A and B are shown apart, each in its own frame.
Chain A
Amino acid sequence: MVFGRSLAIARQDWRVLRRDPFPVIVLVVLPLLLIPFLKPAFRLAFVAEHVRDTAGVEQAVPAMDVTFAFFLVGISSMAFFREHAWRTWDRLRASPATTYEIIVGKITLPLLQAAGQFILVFGLGGTLLGLTVHGSWADLAIVGAAYSLYLVAMGLTVTAICKTYVQANAVTNVGALFLAGLGGALVPHAFLPGWAQSISPAVPSYWAIRGYRAAILGHGDVLPSVVVLLAFAGVFILVAALCFRLDGTKVAWA
């Protein structure tokens, strides 16, 4: 019954998403549209790093996945805020579902969305844009899973800390661009200013791109990236656990 109630909550969120899948569709389509524009720049970066036999897509695809996947932080946060807006949050809290079941139910769909985005961006990136994985698809998937866990944990933290959805949205939008930029997703890491290169290992997106590169190029080990991403996820889960108040008041539309 434990998983039954969490599954019921995830299924309900799926019913809501099915009625309006536009935001999720955009998060898959936009990266695929931008990748062709970024390929040349990332190819130059590979040349600068003396990495041979690359077309730039080997980094452009993971860069866009990392960037746009971050917007799932806002989407997963919205799953909580809309319950407050619709006055169903207290109904959910007063239902037979425990706190644990509610949280697990609420993060299930964002996790699946992250997985789905990963499959579509990398899959279509491979099919349409000539991405070849020289390393291991399994390693690629493991990095993707670790990054997804971090994103969901970040979403929980944003939900816990922000009192309004406007705040959560601002954190997500600014965070997506800032973290993507600093991690080398918007501008190849090799072309970042020196000060940015030195601090970029402090952000999860750097480790996600590094892990994806290792899996795609077949150079290096994905384990450090996976460990660091899981550590970030752990930290944010701890922060969320400390700050999350089930009886807290949230404002969805202001």
Chain B
Amino acid sequence: MNAGPALIMEGVCKRFNGLRALSSVDLQIEPGEIVVLLGANGAGKTTLMSIAAALSRPDSGTVWVDGVNMLKQPSRGQRRLGIATQQTGVYPTLSVRDNLRFFGELAGLRRGVLDRRLEEVADAFDLIDMLDRPTRLLSVGQARRLHTAMILLHPPPLLLLDEPTAGVDVATRARMLELVGNLAADGSAICYSSHYLMEVDQLEANVAIIHGGRIIARGSPEALISTHGQSAVELRFSGAPPSLSDIGFVQTSGTTMRVAIDHEPELDIAGILATLGASAKHLQGVKLIQPDLESVFRSLTEQQVLRRNHDELEVYGGLRS
């Protein structure tokens, strides 16, 4: 095993039919680290993982897995990673045992070692009682567990898990998160994509927010909140909120108004209330909203949309003039 990062992606770009899928992506994952890729559908998470696994070639940039250049030696690098793709891929006419056995054989395991390892993995994923069941008879959650278990007959230095808990029940999700945590504790580097923010906390993972094919923020949840988070005050009125100016970023929705505030909430709240003037008599409630990962995610991705729209408007304005 290489002593350096398990995954290094530098300047990775990818286009599909002229559409940008990834743009100058830089990502590094250390052994034992879990990085959760957070992003909306179409943000580029699956494309990033496909390129890391050498299932797709980038248009530019470099990819290294456990010290192996994936563009020059993809097969050698693929022996150092395992990928559980977004869509469940199992052999439905074969048993759970045959599905696991096949990937164990591909990983180079034989006979007694394979049998022992197969049972260990099946036990860890609660599949031990259904080893001889055809996979077409498994539930969604069971098939999803098998789908992930198949790459763990011989745990590699890098694991790429693309939405592994999609469509599974609460108990299965908890079990899989526990297993992922154990794998990281054993030294595997894990790149994990998800829509579920609570999984970040449960995995005690670092975060990479991906939007429009770019990684727009990276770090621990605490660091991201500290750097990008913004507190807000939510004011609820009996009718439509009044129109206020000079108090910063304001969002209104129905009878509520949310005002972004800086680092001294008491002073900011007092200032906002003073600005209300006569409208204060219509105020029904005041709530302080502390920043969390969700608000950071939404704020960062909305800023990206605004920035892109602004750039497009500038170009359009230039063409018109």
Contact of B83 with A11 in the complex, beta carbons under 8 Å = no
Contact of B89 with A90 in the complex, beta carbons under 8 Å = yes
The segment out of B28-36, B100-108, B200-208, B271-279 that lies at the interface is: B100-108
Contact of A11 with B54 in the complex, beta carbons under 8 Å = no
Contact of A87 with B89 in the complex, beta carbons under 8 Å = yes
A93-B55, A95-B78, A96-B75 are contacts. A16–B91 as well, Cβ < 8 Å?
yes
Contact of B103 with A95 in the complex, beta carbons under 8 Å = yes
Kindly state the interface size class of chain A when it binds its partner.
20 to 34
Contact of A90 with B98 in the complex, beta carbons under 8 Å = no
A86-B92, A91-B89 are contacts. A96–B83 as well, Cβ < 8 Å?
no
With CB as the reference atom, state the residue of chain A lying closest to B95: A15
Q: Is B93 an interface residue (CB 8 A)?
A: yes
Instruction: Give the docked Cα–Cα distance between A130 and B55 (Å).
Output: 54
- The smallest C-beta distance from B49 to any residue of chain A, in angstroms, reads 10
Instruction: Give the docked Cα–Cα distance between A235 and B89 (Å).
Output: 34
The segment out of A1-9, A39-47, A142-150, A162-170 that lies at the interface is: A1-9
Instruction: Give the docked Cα–Cα distance between A247 and B57 (Å).
Output: 9
A228-249 CB contact bits vs B (8 Å, 1 = yes)? 0000000000000000000100
Contact of A87 with B55 in the complex, beta carbons under 8 Å = no
Contact of B89 with A8 in the complex, beta carbons under 8 Å = no
- The smallest C-beta distance from B53 to any residue of chain A, in angstroms, reads 5
Contact of B85 with A1 in the complex, beta carbons under 8 Å = no
Contact of A12 with B54 in the complex, beta carbons under 8 Å = no
Contact of A8 with B91 in the complex, beta carbons under 8 Å = no
With CB as the reference atom, state the residue of chain B lying closest to A99: B75
Contact of A88 with B91 in the complex, beta carbons under 8 Å = yes
Contact of B94 with A16 in the complex, beta carbons under 8 Å = yes
Q: Point out the residue from A86, A90, A94, A98 that lies within 8 Å of B91, measured CB to CB.
A: A86
Contact of B83 with A94 in the complex, beta carbons under 8 Å = yes
Kindly state the interface size class of chain B when it binds its partner.
20 to 34
List residues 210-229 of chain A with CB under 8 A from any CB of chain B.
Answer: none
- The smallest C-beta distance from A20 to any residue of chain B, in angstroms, reads 7
Contact of A16 with B105 in the complex, beta carbons under 8 Å = no
Q: Is B81 an interface residue (CB 8 A)?
A: yes
Q: Is A52 an interface residue (CB 8 A)?
A: no
Instruction: Give the docked Cα–Cα distance between A97 and B105 (Å).
Output: 10
Q: Is B90 an interface residue (CB 8 A)?
A: yes
- The smallest C-beta distance from A95 to any residue of chain B, in angstroms, reads 5
With CB as the reference atom, state the residue of chain A lying closest to B93: A19
- The smallest C-beta distance from A5 to any residue of chain B, in angstroms, reads 6
Contact of B89 with A88 in the complex, beta carbons under 8 Å = yes
Q: Is B56 an interface residue (CB 8 A)?
A: yes
Instruction: Give the docked Cα–Cα distance between A12 and B92 (Å).
Output: 12
Q: Is B87 an interface residue (CB 8 A)?
A: yes
Q: Is B296 an interface residue (CB 8 A)?
A: no
With CB as the reference atom, state the residue of chain B lying closest to A93: B55
- The smallest C-beta distance from B290 to any residue of chain A, in angstroms, reads 41
Interface residues of chain A, those whose CB is within 8 Å of chain B, are 1, 4-5, 8-9, 11-12, 15-16, 19-20, 86-91, 93-99, 247
Provide a sorted-by-A list of 27 A–B residue pairs whose CB atoms are within 8 angstroms.
Answer: A4-B108, A5-B105, A11-B102, A11-B105, A12-B94, A15-B102, A16-B93, A20-B93, A86-B90, A88-B89, A89-B89, A90-B50, A90-B83, A90-B89, A91-B83, A94-B53, A94-B55, A94-B78, A94-B82, A94-B83, A94-B85, A95-B103, A95-B106, A96-B75, A96-B78, A96-B106, A96-B108
Interface residues of chain B, those whose CB is within 8 Å of chain A, are 50, 53-57, 75, 78-79, 81-83, 85, 87-94, 98, 102-103, 105-108, 150
